[in-house]
Amino acid sequence: MLRAGSVTRDFDGDVFFQNLLRDLGYRIGVMKPVETGCSERDGQLYPEDAVRLKQASGCGTPMEKICPYRFVEPLAPSIAAERTGDRIDIDHLLKVYEEISSEHDVTLIEGAGGLMVPLLPSFTYADFARSAKLPLIVVAANRLGAINHLMLTLEHALCKELKVIGYVLNCPTDQISLASETNREVLANLTGVPYLAELPFVATANSASVFPAGQFEKEFALRLIEPFLL
């Protein structure tokens, strides 16, 4: 499954989703094909998002496979690669994905920036999802503008003939606005794509203290995900 969409400093739903699946007995694989905006640690680029995915999943896959491409500048992958004289090899990414997925029951792939972000000048995450035959979970920041952002992403997924499992509304701040309170109802009237959950903003690193795993299981529409876990 590919998680497509953008998130800011907010609740990390991936962590709890993976913990929930692990509790249900699934072997979880993860992949972050490209991570930009990496800091340098001990002379190497540190992919913070990919590390968090690996820790949450508990998988033993080497980080070189989980995150094959890393760049310092916080740019779209195609541009970040071009500026360092590199080129992202899509065939290599697909091969690595096949290796990871063959060793796990469920493999969660995290995108970067959105479905239309380019990995190559004319090859986006949507194209990657289509090539790998990945169903999508779309994440949208629950604020003013979320309706347009989410609907455009869903429309593009349809144009690419991608299967969307559902969408998640993610709260980017602790400030509740009229837009964030009404987005879910508006979206329900605009699309037949299933709503999966609304996830809260978490200011502390200890997300579990604010949103316990048991509550996540109750809030998340896991029944809509289960057909894709077989």
- Which residues are known to be catalytic? 32
How far is residue 60's CA from residue 29's CA, in Å, rounded to a whole number?
9
- Identify the CA nearest to 194 among candidates 224, 150, 169: 224
Compute φ and ψ for 6, nearest 5 degrees.
Answer: -125, 145
Q: Is 9 helix (H, G, I), strand (E, B) or coil?
A: coil
DSSP 82-124: HHTT----HHHHHHHHHHHHHT-SEEEEE-SS-TT-EEETTEE
Rounded alpha-carbon distances, angstroms, from residue 11 to 70, 93, 138, 204 = 23, 28, 15, 9
Residues paired with residue 164 on neighbouring β-strands, in sequence order: 136
**Residue 65: how many other CB atoms lie within 10 Å:** 16
Amino acid at position 121, single letter: P
